Structures are given as structure tokens and as C-alpha cells.
Structure 1
Amino acid sequence: MTKGFAVACRLSKMAQEVAADIGRAQNNRTALSAVPQGQFKSILNNGLNPAEWRAQHRSGHPPGSEADPELRAFILDRIDSQTYDQIVSAVRASFPAERRVSRSSIGRWWQRFNHATAQPSTA
């Protein structure tokens, strides 16, 4: 057997393996195209843009002022007339320890609340 003939045999075997791979890929493609086209539409297309989707799936837990409607109303009643420190003192005087919030959490919540309720400019 010559060296050229051995190379030709290896190439022929590789070509057969590639042809078999192509045949399997075509069979898989045919099987996948048989799946109804709208079957996954409701799962993948939920009507939300990516920013809204991410906003609804933030890590961590909601701030106490967001999860507690009474505390939220209490803070909103005072936010325009008192400083954050005064609001924290009023919360400490009016609510039990497990419902208290910090000065920084009030500031972060207020920034998000203002951003969420801001009216778009008409300019």
C-alpha cells in the first residue's frame, strides 16, 4: 500500500463521517421545524421591554418604606416639610423597631419615587 493511497482512504473515511454529521443535522432541523411556530411565543414575548423586565426583577428586597403602606404614607406626609433626620426621628417615635428605616434608605427611596413619578418634559 502506498502512502498516497493511505491518505486517500483516511480522507474518504473523514468525508463519510462529515456526510453523516450533515445528515444528522438536517434530520434535527426537520424535526425542529415540525414544532408549532407559536408554541413558545407567550413565554418569550411577554410585552415588556428589557428595561421594564429588569426593573421588575431587581435583586435584594424592597425598602421598608415601599413594603409598608402605613410607613410610606407617614414618610410622604413629612417629606416636603422635614429633613431626612427629622423624619427618621419621627419614625422612631411612632413605629416599632422592626418597621424603622434609616436616613439613607429614605433618601434612596425618595430618589426612586421622584424618578418614577416624574412627568416627561414636553420640550
Structure 2
Amino acid sequence: MKSFLCLVGLIGLLTVSGVSYAQTTPASTPAADSTTLQSYVGTYTFNSGSPIQKFTVTTEKGELYGEADDFGKNRLVKQAGADTYKSTSSYGSIITFVRDAATRTITSLTLAAQGAELTAKKATP
């Protein structure tokens, strides 16, 4: 009987801990995600003569969006690779953000679509 009560007490403790954990974890997760997404936000400019002049990255409701020139924005979906996203546009472009080795800040991006790869430098945060 004593061991049964100990087991019931342990289950109760685990349940209370689980509820407490479940209530605090989601509140802290979005802040970390928004901070990460915010590091990508900005305008990226391509070299002169490129078929795309600029690529603008924004966030809305915790999701990343990209817009090539003024063709309309599309959601960017996180891919398995580090700093890699796939556009929901009809081209299905793969955008890979490039970080400075020393500071770890985003400095540029590469956009791969239709067999071509273009590079753009981050112009504004």
C-alpha cells in the first residue's frame, strides 16, 4: 500500500511538472523563432545586368516571405540545410542565406531557380 501511494505521488508530480513545462515552453519558442527570422529581413541587391534587381525579405505572423523585384511576395519554407528556404512561387526557388564567418550575420543570399544561381548582397537590415 505504501509503495502504491508513492507511485501515485510520483505520477502526480510528473503530471504537474508536465503541465508547467507545457505552459512555459510555447511562450518562449516564438520569440526565439522571430529573432532568427528577423536576421534574414532586408533588401538584397543583385549585380547590374541580373534578371532580378532586388529581393526583399520580410516577416509576417511568424513566417518568412520573399519578393523578387515587384512580382509579389511568396512564403519561404524552411528546408533541411542551414539558412536554406524554398519559395512557394511557381519557380520554387531555393534561397540560401550566407553568413559572415566571424560575426555570423547575414551578408548575402543565393537564389537558385531554373538551373541558374544568382547572388545578392544584403543592402539594408
TM over 0.5: no
Quick check: which one's strand share is greater? 2
Taking structure 2 as the reference length, what is the TM-score of the superposition? 0.31
Please identify the structure whose Cα radius of gyration is greater: 1
